[in-house]
Amino acid sequence: MRAFSRLGLGLLFVSIALADRFDDLVLRAAAARQAGDSAAALALYREAVGIRPSWSEGWWYLGMISYDSDQYSDCRAAFSQFIKLESKSAPAWSFVGLCDFEVGAYHDALADFERADATGGAVPPEVEPVVRYHRALLLNASARFEEATRALKPLAAGSPSPALLTALGVNALRLPLLPQALPETQRSAVTAAGAIAAAWISGDSAAAEAGFRDLLRTYDTAPGAHYFYATYLLQSHPPAEVIPELRRELAVNPRNPDAHALLALMLQQTGAIEEALPHARQAAEARPGAPLTEYAYGVLLTDSGDVRDAIRHLEIAGRLEPNKVENHAALAKAYSKAGRYEDARRERAAAISLARGPDAH
């Protein structure tokens, strides 16, 4: 009994000593971090979390200091431990994504950013643009161009950096690659397209139109250039004026799925259903699971009478872009043709609600 008591007392003393040691490490680590001594801070935080692995704040600072020191593997390891303790942390998932991007684990990085979004939490304002930019690069490389456009738009205000102009240009020309994989022969065209996109986003139509004139004169055979111009014309010109640009794009770049999809929609609006359907089919087969290609094929299948298959494609487009009026309107039409009147009413109501906007009463 006395031996057990001595053992228990010894463990108590060890526990007290470790607690005192932990408290001392916390104070010294914070002091080193505030003094800018990264090496000392890292060593102290590592020792502290070794004593108390449940100390999430220590893992956080280990991750942050490692990230600021370009030690991305260590950063990822620290934030992974933090996430085990606080799995709903959007900032932690975002930093894991940034680290995965830096070490070339691009598929994992995009998944990390999506997990950050799924938490519903906010990322610190000073970090949010960095995360947004890197996520947009990965969305571009994954050919998820519509999502990448939405991610890039808030970054384009003011004077975009060269890196941002490249990202905007890759997105505008629909090039499914990362900037570092961009061939040197395409860089000048991409930069020019990025400058046009920035002007368009900022509302400077004169600069955008002048940029398009230069782009099409200098880079007439650049993949994506005519498609990009077609999307610009689409906002204020009838389909008959958009169609020639899309045909020029496909003459240069016959495998461009977005050009096929948009051409199909423009031809459909002019009543040329039989000509439009093969373009829509080619787009959906080349880029399945993309909002534009799924929507275009669904619309053309509806008009051609294949309503069952049309609904399948339109439902995919609707899941990908649930806040787009056109998706709900197209589904309403397809459901109605299929005799699914309750579903059609639901989609029609959703389209009307979205068209009225969030402030409508």
pLDDT at res. 13? 43
- Cα–Cα dist 27/61, whole Å: 13
pLDDT over threshold 60, residue 140: yes
Residue 256: pLDDT over 60:
yes
Decide: 173 and 228 in contact? Cβ < 8 Å: yes
Q: What is the pLDDT of residues 169-219, one digit of tens each?
A: 999 999 999 999 999 999 999 999 999 999 999 999 999 999 999 999 999
Mean predicted confidence (pLDDT) in 22-29: 89
The string of pLDDT tens digits covering residues 317-326 is 999 999 999 9
Model pLDDT, residue 358: 63
Amino acid at residue number 142? S
* Mean pLDDT confidence for 32-60: 94
Residue percentage of the chain with pLDDT more than 70: 94
**Residue type at 21 in one-letter notation:** R
pLDDT at 330 exceeding the cut of 90 = yes
Distances (CA, A) of 123 to 89, 128, 168, 235: 9, 6, 23, 33
pLDDT score for 80: 95
CATH topology of domain 255-356: 1.25.40
pLDDT number for residue 154: 94
pTM of the model: 0.88
Model pLDDT, residue 357: 76
What pLDDT is attached to residue 18?
54
Report the pLDDT averaged over residues 273-293.
96
Which pair of structure tokens corresponds to residue 282? 């080619």
Q: How far is CA 55 from CA 45, 83, 139, 291, in A?
A: 10, 12, 34, 43
State residue 114's pLDDT score: 96
Residues contacting residue 231 through CB under 8 Å, at least 6 positions apart: 262
Q: Is the pLDDT of residue 266 over 50?
A: yes
Average pLDDT (328-342) is 97
Q: Which alpha helices (H) appear in the chain, and where do they start and end?
A: 2-34, 38-51, 56-68, 72-85, 90-102, 106-119, 128-141, 145-152, 162-172, 184-202, 205-218, 225-234, 239-252, 257-269, 273-286, 291-304, 307-320, 325-337, 341-356
Q: What pLDDT does residue 15 have?
A: 53
Name the 3-class secondary structure at 318. helix
pLDDT band at 20 (very low <50, low <70, confident <90, very high): confident
CB–CB of 50/81 below 8 Å?
A: no
Q: How far apart are CA 232 and CA 59, in angstroms?
A: 48
pLDDT for res 11: 46
Q: What is the pLDDT of residue 157?
A: 83
Measured CA to CA, the distance from residue 234 to residue 232 in angstroms comes to 5
For the segment 59-112, what is each residue's pLDDT rounded down to a tens digit? 999 999 999 999 999 999 999 999 999 999 999 999 999 999 999 999 999 999
Higher pLDDT, residue 15 or 298: 298
pLDDT > 90: what percent of the chain? Answer: 89
Confidence of residue 359 (pLDDT cuts 50, 70, 90): low
Closest alpha carbon to 219 in 250, 266, 252: 252
Q: What is the residue extent of each domain of the chain?
A: 255-356
pLDDT bracket for residue 22 (50, 70, 90): confident
The pLDDT value recorded for residue 14 is 45
Residue-averaged pLDDT of the chain: 93
